[in-house]
Structure 1
């Protein structure tokens, strides 16, 4: 970190907007913190284990989720990066297959160690006879963030073609995607209410019910957010005046309020995340406008070498932080339970005061883990370029088990399927090779 902070000019590509790197890192750190607030573990008066989603029970949380759910912004920033990355790839003479398989490698390689961990840990719980209900409670929570891998790869894999549609049809593309998201939601709600002659198909949170009919929104909603990122890259938001951006934010929030008032949608924006719903698409526009308004202060912050060095360091381990923070939270809580030390009751004043120190401990523990795992975030030496069909199969093989984990919850068979699918996907595109650079060395950035 000190070397990065001391010489940022040597590691920052010319023309790169570092405020987007700062935004990406801040989003992931906020995700870690929110998951810490969700994880309330302690002991009851009789000594039995208490597990609850503490922050979700707070009266203010639904309103706060309209700001705290920053995943739409992550896809907006990803859209900006995809637009810039595809433009650079074209200037280097690369085609869509090369672009897609590199994105697949960068998302799938860091997933291998975590899927190995899940497979081994879940197999061990079976051999040791651990209470299956307890295992399911923990595993479903740990596996819940994995949806991001599937959704983000999907939009990145489609980026070259979506950029082409954006260049040809402009605003009509996000409007069609938004209409598709709204239609998907309507179908899902009609099915859930038994209004299509299919009987009542309840939403079950985990496990396929009416959610099956909302899965197309994994494409519609997040591709819409990607299009917002394209507009951000094109300067659409920067050409708006300050009061116009405020108007975009106000109209956007009014639109979200109108939708959730109609029924079907949750007032909790995190609950609207699986399957993703139309309010999250609108939230992407709101957050893009807000990011544009904050661009000046964020730029000034990123001119400081300490912040720039920290962002570049964390950014080089971002997938490791995202994939491993929940397992690390559970491991650290397990250590607390085993040690003869008092634990604050979830929701108590002491529990709230210890959340920020616990965040620092989690990030430090993941950083130590990343000293070895960071090698999986390096782009590997690629083999011969595969065909478009082979690359498409690799993307699908990687996506399907992860979507199944999101729908049904993490268990041993799905962990094995996800691990196998990830390895197979990397082999199909010629990216399942050890990095040629040491863990601490810099690999070429593309």
Structure 2
């Protein structure tokens, strides 16, 4: 508590605390949503198996518009990445050094999960478990990694996409949305391959809006392209001191978030109450039209058999829901920001954010452990999804999972919480090209590994639970990034 009090006391008064709250709430919604919707049953061989109960609950489809919070992650990530990149450049760092710093925050807790699961699978195999018994456990525990694969694909593009944002403003997300729409058309009429880029482009569109929020918060609302020089004014940061969400007072010659240039060439997100209401209502109307009389399913979470599934890849319908979510977020912003200037709420937000990725990564491992323990004791309930017994089991199920997850966070949370600001490194002239190539290649290897694991069938006979090529690629990519963070090819 004393550490939290010290961190809260050091938070600058102009920090956008609301973004930290959004990140924490989004994680909590994902965790509770996955837990609440889980259905456990026994397969033909008598082993416990889990699946989503959403297919048995059509009345819950509209609720997915609220609990599908992946757009919130990318919105907050866009703001945080713009803030930390600007702060890093003001300290004299380069884009590759910034990427290495971001990799530490994302991959240290992820590597803990990967190594523990691979090690556990190896022990199980040595104990006589078969590959088709090991793989389902690893597959279920690593479901959260599909999101991380998408986010790790977006992060290395931040320097380029933020420069593009400074030149073209809100035109960039508009073009990205149009490309997503073209991909949806390909899914509906062919060729379906047109939709593949939307796995990246849809999330990039939301990420760009985070850039626009950051520029609005800084008061940099000149028309796009008028000022493409790097930010020069100092930025103060709070919380854990990594530059995420830090802000500075707007310069007097800039127009604030409520005014300034309008239209698609502006670099700023419209922040007025009128704009927020327009986003909320407009997004809802478009989403209703697309999912009612339109061809898109109502659920914003993918279900089996959907031709135009909304989440993977992101569809135009999901982006409409994301627009409505953004409008609601902006409507609540001022009131919640004032509330977060109280000590206790802000300390709670700091506490959650210090282990937020750990909570996300391990919440389904908690379910695996609880199911295994109850099965071993002969106490595992398996009521059919959607029945009264299944609904009654939700509360004790979630409470027990919370206890198991708390233990896992106590064990693995310090790995994330101890990740501080990276060393201030810049490439030496001799190794700059090699360092850049290795960094980008290592990110690509990690993204490939996480995506390949997600695409491999749950029943695949993988000896270590992971596809061998994916595990090797992850270890090589994460190890290379660790080596580069240690200072190879850099000077302090």
For the superposition of Structure 1 and Structure 2, which TM-score range results when normalised by the shorter chain? 0.7 to 0.9
2:473 pairs with 1:396: no
What does residue 328 of structure 1 align with?
A: 366
- Select 2:314's aligned residue among 269, 272, 276: 276
Instruction: Tell me, in whole angstroms, the C-alpha distance in 2 between the residues paired with 1:49 and 1:429.
Output: 38
Instruction: Tell me, in whole angstroms, the C-alpha distance in 2 between the residues paired with 1:400 and 1:342.
Output: 36
Q: How does 1:120-269 map to 2 (within 5 A)?
A: 120-127=119-126, 130=129, 135-191=134-190, 196=191, 214-235=195-216, 239-261=270-292, 265-269=296-300
Structure 1 SS opposite 2:300: coil
Instruction: Tell me, in whole angstroms, the C-alpha distance in 1 between the residues paired with 2:360 and 2:270.
Output: 33
The 1:125–1:9 alpha-carbon spacing in structure 2 relative to 1, beyond 3 Å, is closer
How much does 1:83 deviate?
Answer: 1.4
For residues 86-119 of structure 1, the C-alpha deviation after alignment (integer angstroms, 9 at most, x for no partner) is 2211211211111112112221222212111222
2:48 pairs with 1:17: no
Instruction: Tell me, in whole angstroms, the C-alpha distance in 2 between the residues paired with 1:164 and 1:17.
Output: 22
TM-score normalised over the length of structure 1: 0.82
Number of residue-to-residue matches in the alignment: 415
- Select 1:360's aligned residue among 390, 399, 402: 402
Q: Which runs of 5+ in 1 are unaligned?
A: 197-209, 435-446
The 1:250–1:371 alpha-carbon spacing in structure 2 relative to 1, beyond 3 Å, is closer
Instruction: Tell me, in whole angstroms, the C-alpha distance in 2 between the residues paired with 1:426 and 1:134.
Output: 27
Structure 1 contact 119–416 (Cα < 8 Å) conserved: no
The 1:359–1:55 alpha-carbon spacing in structure 2 relative to 1, beyond 3 Å, is farther
How much does 1:391 deviate?
Answer: 1.7
Instruction: Tell me, in whole angstroms, the C-alpha distance in 2 between the residues paired with 1:422 and 1:48.
Output: 29
How much does 1:343 deviate?
Answer: 3.5
The 1:188–1:382 alpha-carbon spacing in structure 2 relative to 1, beyond 3 Å, is farther
Q: Which runs of 5+ in 2 are unaligned?
A: 217-256, 259-268, 303-309, 487-492
Instruction: Tell me, in whole angstroms, the C-alpha distance in 1 between the residues paired with 2:63 and 2:154.
Output: 27
Structure 1 contact 178–278 (Cα < 8 Å) conserved: yes
How much does 1:215 deviate?
Answer: 3.1
Structure 1 contact 8–308 (Cα < 8 Å) conserved: no
Structure 2 SS opposite 1:288: helix
Structure 2 SS opposite 1:110: helix
2:480 pairs with 1:428: yes
Instruction: Tell me, in whole angstroms, the C-alpha distance in 1 between the residues paired with 2:97 and 2:466.
Output: 29
Instruction: Tell me, in whole angstroms, the C-alpha distance in 1 between the residues paired with 2:107 and 2:40.
Output: 31
Structure 2 SS opposite 1:22: helix
TM-score normalised over the length of structure 2: 0.75
Structure 2 contact 48–371 (Cα < 8 Å) conserved: no
2:348 pairs with 1:310: yes
For residues 324-363 of structure 1, the C-alpha deviation after alignment (integer angstroms, 9 at most, x for no partner) is 1111221022112222546473542421332442353244
Structure 2 SS opposite 1:40: strand
How much does 1:56 deviate?
Answer: 4.2
What does residue 293 of structure 1 align with?
A: 331
Structure 2 SS opposite 1:390: helix
258-267 vs 104-113, greater mean Cα deviation: 258-267
How much does 1:128 deviate?
Answer: 5.0
Structure 2 SS opposite 1:273: coil
269-278 vs 296-305, greater mean Cα deviation: 296-305
Structure 1 contact 111–422 (Cα < 8 Å) conserved: no
Instruction: Tell me, in whole angstroms, the C-alpha distance in 2 between the residues paired with 1:423 and 1:381.
Output: 22
What does residue 351 of structure 1 align with?
A: 393
Instruction: Tell me, in whole angstroms, the C-alpha distance in 2 between the residues paired with 1:393 and 1:273.
Output: 27
Instruction: Tell me, in whole angstroms, the C-alpha distance in 2 between the residues paired with 1:8 and 1:128.
Output: 46
How much does 1:234 deviate?
Answer: 2.7
Instruction: Tell me, in whole angstroms, the C-alpha distance in 2 between the residues paired with 1:290 and 1:4.
Output: 33
Structure 2 contact 24–349 (Cα < 8 Å) conserved: yes
The 1:372–1:165 alpha-carbon spacing in structure 2 relative to 1, beyond 3 Å, is closer
What does residue 102 of structure 1 align with?
A: 101
For residues 243-279 of structure 1, the C-alpha deviation after alignment (integer angstroms, 9 at most, x for no partner) is 4422211211222233334665332101122222222
Identify the structure with the greater helix proportion.
1
Instruction: Tell me, in whole angstroms, the C-alpha distance in 2 between the residues paired with 1:132 and 1:394.
Output: 28
Instruction: Tell me, in whole angstroms, the C-alpha distance in 2 between the residues paired with 1:115 and 1:425.
Output: 13
Instruction: Tell me, in whole angstroms, the C-alpha distance in 1 between the residues paired with 2:484 and 2:104.
Output: 8
Structure 2 SS opposite 1:327: helix
